Amino acid sequence: MEFMTGERETQVSTLREIFEEQPLGKEVAVEGAVHSIRDMGRIVFVTVRTRDGLLQTVFEKEEHPEFSGLKEAMCLRVQGRLRQEARAPRGLEIALEGLEILSAPAAPLPLPIDKWKLNTSLEARLNQRALALRHPRERAIFRIQEGIVRAFRDFLWEQGFTEVHTPKVGARSAEGGANLFRLSYFHKPAVLQQSPQLYKQMLVGVFDRVFETGPVFRAEKHNTKRHLNEYTSLDFEMGYIRSFRDVMEMETGFLRHMMEFLAQEYYQELKLLGVELPSVEQIPAVPFRQAKELVAKKYGRAVRSPQDLEPEEEQLIGEYFKEEYGSDFVFVTHYPSGKRPFYAMEDPEDPTVTLSFDLLFRGLEVTTGGQRIHEYGKLIEKMEARGMTEEGLEEYLDAFRYGMPPHGGLGIGLERMTMQLLGEENIREASLFPRDLSRLKP
């Protein structure tokens, strides 16, 4: 009988080990793909792309004629001695002594993965996504995206939240608007969830504080640089709040933690992309109406739609708070009631607005949140005032009937957060396999 013990001896080093330990003169082995080949006549440089970066290797043609068949995109296991080389990236290279070809491509690469920048159109990169992502700069985007999610979870665990997994397929409810994808679920009509909202609220009654990081689906017919039809939402909901400010403070705490965590754990990727992290000492919070007035006044702009922020207005609010307060972030609070969902709590001092907020990051909404109605009677009242039926909301309403603490929460669009942090122009740059009006594959 064979047994697995979980202990795997490996003779192969990671780049992190090599650059940290610098075992000069020692033989090391590395696995990776041939990223680029530079034939200098007598000697040949082969850059190997591993999961944690690029490593220069080198051999002399005369000494190793058997290495002559190397091609870009081959997967290799190489051995050699580590030595200092000032002209090599990060000052180290491997003088190749042995080499095993693990696999070879069937055709030459159609994208210049080995160039410093992939100067191809976004369209071309999305069509060849699995290949384009191999470029170190493309790959770095998603390493940093991973860091955002890790920071989110780590911070919330530290704050006593429980992670949950709620279903993405569900019965249609009175809440759902027109922006739902519909499907047939064993001959019953069903929809894809546009948010875990109702589930995370129900679960506040169970765990007090919950979060989820998962996909959400919006059948919106927007074809813009900032909309996706499927994206990853970072959601949390917390009970026993004293005010909707508690939710904004929690998000501010997360953002501070996120910046520290990225600076510490993802500095290689940030450096590669030339990203400077914004400082998040404090985030200004401005009421919706005041925000509109401030930018109308400063930028000489007429207030056209008093109930909404137009994209251009969001951008100007972002600029205003950058110029006046040096902040890349701003909370816009107290959105008009008519524009918020039925569960949003109205401001007792002015019921035309809600105890809600959006977070703008460099002029783009990256979060929507607020306090929710927690009293059963008030929820029913609000639904009636909106002409909503209880259909499909029975269990949600039950949670309130049997007691819920005051609570609030938010949802952060992961791709938007990534896009703004990295200064990308199009949200599709921040999605591994974007889904938009026309793109359903790869």
For residue 210, what is the DSSP state? E
Dihedral angle of Cα 196, 199, 200, 204, to the nearest 10 degrees: 170
Please indicate if the annotation marks 175 as binding a ligand. yes
Site string for a copy of itself, 135-174 (x = CB under 8 A): ----x--xx-xx--xx------x--x-xxxxxxxxxx---
Task: Establish whether 414 is an annotated binding residue.
Answer: yes
Instruction: Determine if residue 83 is labeled as part of a ligand binding site.
Output: no
Q: In the complex with a copy of itself, which residue's Cβ is closer, 93 or 212?
A: 212
Any binding-site annotation on 182? no
Does the annotation flag 226 for ligand binding? yes
Q: Are 354 and 345 in contact (CB under 8 A)?
A: yes
Phi/psi of residue 57, nearest 5 degrees: -125, 160
- Enumerate residues 50-69 that contact a copy of itself by CB under 8 A: 50-52
- Residue with structure tokens 């404090």? 282
- Tokens 């944690």 found at: 52
Q: Which residues pair with 258 in a beta bridge?
A: none
Residue 356 Cβ vs a copy of itself, minimum distance, rounded to whole Å? 15
Rounded distance, CA 53 to CA 51, Å?
A: 6
Query: Which residue, chain included where needed, has tokens 């501070």?
Result: 256
Which of 26, 158, 185, 293 touches a copy of itself by CB under 8 A? 185
- Closest distance to a copy of itself from the beta carbon of 396 (Å): 7
Helical spans, DSSP H, in 94-244:
122-127, 129-132, 136-158, 197-207
**Gap between the Cα atoms of 339 and 185, Å rounded:** 31
Q: Closest CB to a copy of itself among 22 and 103?
A: 103
Give the closest residue to 105 by CA, choosing from 83, 73, 69: 73
- Confirm if 44 and 93 have CB atoms less than 8 A apart: no
Contact pattern from residue 328 through residue 357 relative to a copy of itself, giving x for each residue in contact according to CB under 8 A and a dash for the rest: ---x--------------------------
Q: How far apart are the first and last CA of the chain?
A: 42
- Is 413 assigned to a binding site? yes
The answer to whether 82 contacts a copy of itself (rule: CB under 8 A) is no
Least distance from C-beta 60 to a copy of itself, angstroms?
25
Task: Give the CB-side neighbour count of residue 12, counting CA atoms within 13 A.
Answer: 12
Question: 407 near 371, Cβ under 8 Å?
Answer: yes
107: contact with a copy of itself by CB under 8 A = yes
Residues 190 and 332: their CA atoms lie apart, in Å, by 34
Sole window of 38-46, 83-91, 243-251, 270-278 interacting with a copy of itself (rule: CB under 8 A): 243-251
Q: Is 85 annotated as a binding residue?
A: no
Place of tokens 């783009």: 364
Number of C-beta neighbours around residue 19 at 10 A? 17
Is 437 near a copy of itself (CB under 8 A)? yes
- Pick the binder of a copy of itself from 25, 42, 87, 106 (CB under 8 A): 106
Cα–chain center distance at 313: 24
Considering CB under 8 A, how many residues would be counted as binding a copy of itself? 128
The only residue of 369, 406, 409, 411 in contact with a copy of itself, by rule CB under 8 A: 406
Nearer residue to a copy of itself within complex by CB, 142 or 342: 142
- Write out the binding residues for a copy of itself, residues 186-225 only, by CB under 8 A: 186, 188, 190, 192, 199, 202-203, 205-209, 214-215, 217, 219, 221
> Does the footprint of a copy of itself cover residue 279 (CB under 8 A)?
no
What part of residues 12-51 is at the interface with a copy of itself (CB under 8 A)? Answer: 12, 14, 31-33, 50-51
406/411 Cα distance (integer angstroms): 18
Q: From the list 183, 271, 338, 425, which residue makes contact with a copy of itself (rule: CB under 8 A)?
A: 183
Nearer to a copy of itself, 138 or 313 (CB): 138
Flag whether 415 is marked binding: yes
CB-count burial class (<10 Å; 0-12, 13-18, 19+) for 190: middle
Q: Which is nearer to a copy of itself, 234 or 364 (CB)?
A: 234
7 sits in which H/E element: none
- Residue 352 · residue 361 · CB < 8 Å: no
Position 263 contacts a copy of itself (CB under 8 A) = no
Q: Which of 46, 250, 366, 417 binds a copy of itself (CB under 8 A)?
A: 250
**Using CB under 8 A, which residues numbered 363 to 392 contact a copy of itself?**
374-377, 392
Beta-carbon neighbour count of residue 246 at 10 Å?
Answer: 16
Q: Of the ranges 1-9, 62-70, 78-86, 271-279, which one interacts with a copy of itself (CB under 8 A)?
A: 1-9
Q: Which is nearer to a copy of itself, 24 or 104 (CB)?
A: 104
User: Known binding site for ATP: residues?
Assistant: 218-220, 226-228, 365, 413-416
User: Known binding site for L-aspartate: residues?
Assistant: 175, 218, 368, 372
User: Known binding site: residues?
Assistant: 175, 218-220, 226-228, 365, 368, 372, 413-416
